[in-house]
Structure 1
């Protein structure tokens, strides 16, 4: 039996209007609860931020949108249809992978087209291997979804069952790097199917093979673009919630939770308002700062951070894809630099210190290639994500990097790398820009200065990650977001909102996400 909040739960306050908080709010409202969402920002979105200036609309948070069925399922909780709230465009080319040797590979949502690209670049043997691997990814995802991802877990015993045995037999607890290497001989394909480990905050040389399923979401099951940008997704959820009766308090920070005995009885905002509460969903990055008595079970390990450069440029930049993974020549060295012990990297002092990538691999998104509403005529918007160390030395980060001075220089370096790799003319055409560094992430309240939260080490995964209903703290406080189960990424935090709501309402009839035969998620 899944543990749930005891006692009355008629009035619920949700702290945070990011995707996790919105997901929880819609589920709770659909189950008949009176719901109020408190958000310190001026509108919904959380990490999915937006800068609008001079006709450019820059998404400053996530740039890759997968598993739209999860958003559809959330909207359905209040009787809404996805098609009435969002227009989604499937990307024929989900990624373009550019390699240091000058070659490139277009990753297609259609497996036949993808296999043809691989055969042309890597040979027929690798094309056959690709088809086998895509089938393996889909099967692995189906195996893990209901048992390890789409459910509340309170103890490791919750995992016991035939699915765990199958995962062990499939080598799911081996290393991701070795799992991929067994399938492919071409180093380019090995990189393509293992770089996603960084989304989970770990090197593919440390990540367990079960994390291969991350590639299923953005390579196997496809990528979409929401018209209006990623920020359109939280706006759609918030609009549906408001229409269903969810109350929103924007521009209000939670000062503290009022506790009587073992329960929170009210939420106090910084403007003096008291919101009565029978239950509270805390969907913030550091719940330990807000929730009395809540502490994590062990010293946390955080994911690497990033520098994110978002620009609006008056340039056509022809020939570029919507999403591009630009690989440098270095590979294992990249992960060493981001997370390894500083003594091995010449860092001196003996403390764990990461450093800036000397040969960066970058994720570049140009959504205006698909959606012209995001930029003026003749312009483009780009988001460039360059992984960096976080600020926590225990996690291999480096708090001594002076990002005030380093940030502008690194911004220039990233743009110079892009120019050299084919985005010619970008730097001189920039009209609008927004840059985030580990220090700006920290100023926004993100632990260790990383937007990617807790790393998915073995000890911070599944039942070992903080559950949505913690055993420490008030009995009627539930958690949601990337710091708790199931983890990091847009699909995962949307799921976490549903799991948090179910800690209050109990599992709903037919709850959960069904899987198609191809491994994609479906309503």
Structure 2
């Protein structure tokens, strides 16, 4: 059966790979000239910038999508493990390296924080693994039709309760460790969920497991290699990838079910089902203007945003700099109150600096560096006038780089604020969609179906299971499962074969 996928971001590419592997006739339409979605590659003055995610975790999820389309992760997307995964620097001048492997990280904690916290780390890892093993198959890699579906896995839900998954993350981490630096190191991931550690559920420690325990990887050629590999695999398996074309509306039949899409050129593509990966509010505004978006899409709590400064500079960082570097501010709780409660800039911000040229010097001219500098900021509901704040923000980031041993002779740059995110189609200027509050998590998050439009399936960070590279890859597979269920007897046999080839989790 014919399926159109709108958008060549990671969720759309994953959906395309799973669908074509299950025997569907897949056409993927992307308005940009290359795959990558919001993570398109930018080249300027000899520097190459990956403008999307910089932290690659859980590569097996990419491998699953590639395998569904008949391609091997090893052959299509060679990667190497980053060790350390992060260098964490604190306001007192100290630092902790996030090392790969339990024993290596235990020793790092022993050397920097003491033997008591080092011993606690071993049990902490065991807790994280048990949390992951409960969450992944039952609550992440699963479609829900309503909150009542939680009852289909009562034992898993009970285990999650016993593990403390519904407590708050910050207090749970403090119970594990004495050193305040470890409290920050193992709870900052709450920001990925759009929350402070004090308000995020402890079940989001699964993100800590994904990067701090399973490891952070670097794809050969940079992060752009991930969507490129998925696109190549989908095309080899028979998908038709159409770049530089924009879908302007859904074509519906007399029943109101999907019958295809119409492109900006006026061409119509027939389809039995459509997978849409646009940010949900954007999808309803532009493709479903006749429908009122679900309440949570219209009035839900959206995550903070981020300013990202892409910098190409002459020179290299000081010795000891890692591929990923987290610089923690001093006032941890105050920073979150400012960002999330008051919706203003953090007075003492924590920042991420990624230096991909430490892993691949070819991304910059000889003797130069590419820097990715990220600072969490309020979304456009906040109290920041970005027309005025853009210049001062750049100057603060420039001063921060100089004070922390990074090169500052800027040759090429691109500053992305919430205004730019909004222009890219991201509601309220945040690339992180709806925050993962309890009422916007799991079966309470906007579903990947709108039953008013049969045959339409959503994928991406705004729907289940949520935000982050692993989650959007899963969302693409969940969308493919929905298409199979909608087309019973058509994609069913092919779907079973595709799942067998892809090694369904």
TM-score range, shorter chain: over 0.9
Alpha-carbon distance in structure 2 between the residues aligned to 1:318 and 1:246: 46
- Match of 1:386, SS state, is strand
Tell me by how many angstroms 1:54 deviates.
2.6
Is it true that 1:263 corresponds to 2:257 in the alignment?
A: yes
Q: Indicate if the aligned counterparts of 1:293 and 1:474 stay in contact, CA closer than 8 A.
A: no
2:103 to 112, 128, 145: 112
Alignment of 1:214-225 (within 5 A): 214-225=207-218
Alpha-carbon distance in structure 2 between the residues aligned to 1:226 and 1:370: 10
Tell me by how many angstroms 1:47 deviates.
1.6
Aligned to 2:489: none
Aligned to 1:469: 449
Q: Indicate if the aligned counterparts of 2:22 and 2:499 stay in contact, CA closer than 8 A.
A: no
Tell me by how many angstroms 1:430 deviates.
1.4
Is it true that 1:288 corresponds to 2:284 in the alignment?
A: yes
**1:310-365 C-alpha deviation (Å, 9 max, x unpaired):** 11111121321000110011101111111114xxxxxxxxxxxx111111100111
- Match of 2:375, SS state, is strand
Q: Indicate if the aligned counterparts of 1:305 and 1:387 stay in contact, CA closer than 8 A.
A: yes
Question: What's the RMSD between the two structures over aligned residues?
Answer: 1.7
Aligned to 2:420: 440
Alignment of 1:413-452 (within 5 A): 413-423=396-406, 426-427=407-408, 429-452=409-432
**1:46-67 C-alpha deviation (Å, 9 max, x unpaired):** 1212111232111111010001
Is it true that 1:371 corresponds to 2:363 in the alignment?
A: no
Aligned to 1:152: 143
Is it true that 1:490 corresponds to 2:484 in the alignment?
A: no
Alpha-carbon distance in structure 1 between the residues aligned to 2:344 and 2:135: 34
Moved more, 213-222 or 249-258: 249-258
Alignment of 1:5-404 (within 5 A): 10-160=1-151, 161-260=154-253, 261-286=255-280, 287-289=283-285, 290-291=287-288, 292-293=290-291, 295-298=293-296, 299-319=299-319, 320-341=321-342, 354-392=343-381, 397-398=382-383, 401-404=384-387
Q: Indicate if the aligned counterparts of 1:150 and 1:512 stay in contact, CA closer than 8 A.
A: no
Tell me by how many angstroms 1:138 deviates.
1.1
- Match of 2:221, SS state, is coil
Tell me by how many angstroms 1:408 deviates.
2.1
Instruction: Could you tell me which runs of 5 or more consecutive residues in structure 1 were left unpaired when the two chains were aligned.
Output: 1-9, 342-353, 514-520
Alpha-carbon distance in structure 1 between the residues aligned to 2:377 and 2:150: 34
Q: Indicate if the aligned counterparts of 1:15 and 1:21 stay in contact, CA closer than 8 A.
A: yes
- Match of 1:47, SS state, is helix
Instruction: Could you tell me which runs of 5 or more consecutive residues in structure 2 were left unpaired when the two chains were aligned.
Output: 486-491
Tell me by how many angstroms 1:510 deviates.
9.2
Alpha-carbon distance in structure 1 between the residues aligned to 2:185 and 2:504: 25
Alpha-carbon distance in structure 2 between the residues aligned to 1:157 and 1:321: 46
Alpha-carbon distance in structure 2 between the residues aligned to 1:78 and 1:339: 41
- Match of 2:85, SS state, is strand
Moved more, 91-100 or 504-513: 504-513
Alpha-carbon distance in structure 1 between the residues aligned to 2:244 and 2:478: 26
Alpha-carbon distance in structure 1 between the residues aligned to 2:496 and 2:162: 32
- Match of 1:383, SS state, is strand
In structure 2, do the counterparts of structure 1 residues 379 and 284 end up closer, same or farther at CA, with 3 Å as the change threshold?
same
**1:5-46 C-alpha deviation (Å, 9 max, x unpaired):** xxxxx1111111100000001111111111111111111101
Q: Indicate if the aligned counterparts of 2:127 and 2:163 stay in contact, CA closer than 8 A.
A: no
Alpha-carbon distance in structure 2 between the residues aligned to 1:278 and 1:118: 55
Alpha-carbon distance in structure 2 between the residues aligned to 1:71 and 1:177: 30
Tell me by how many angstroms 1:405 deviates.
2.4
Tell me by how many angstroms 1:418 deviates.
2.5
Alpha-carbon distance in structure 2 between the residues aligned to 1:254 and 1:382: 34
Q: Which has the higher helix share?
A: 2
Aligned to 1:345: none
Alpha-carbon distance in structure 2 between the residues aligned to 1:410 and 1:253: 34
Q: Indicate if the aligned counterparts of 1:70 and 1:522 stay in contact, CA closer than 8 A.
A: no
TM-score normalised by the chain length of structure 2: 0.93
Alpha-carbon distance in structure 1 between the residues aligned to 2:498 and 2:120: 36
**1:422-479 C-alpha deviation (Å, 9 max, x unpaired):** 32xx22x2111111000000011100100111100111100001122233x3111000
Matched residue count:
485
Tell me by how many angstroms 1:262 deviates.
2.3
Is it true that 1:456 corresponds to 2:436 in the alignment?
A: yes
Alpha-carbon distance in structure 2 between the residues aligned to 1:280 and 1:509: 20
Alpha-carbon distance in structure 2 between the residues aligned to 1:418 and 1:410: 12
Moved over 6 A (4+): 510-513
**1:278-335 C-alpha deviation (Å, 9 max, x unpaired):** 1000011132222353622332211000100011111121321000110011101111
Is it true that 1:504 corresponds to 2:483 in the alignment?
A: yes
Alpha-carbon distance in structure 2 between the residues aligned to 1:264 and 1:28: 17
Alpha-carbon distance in structure 2 between the residues aligned to 1:297 and 1:144: 26
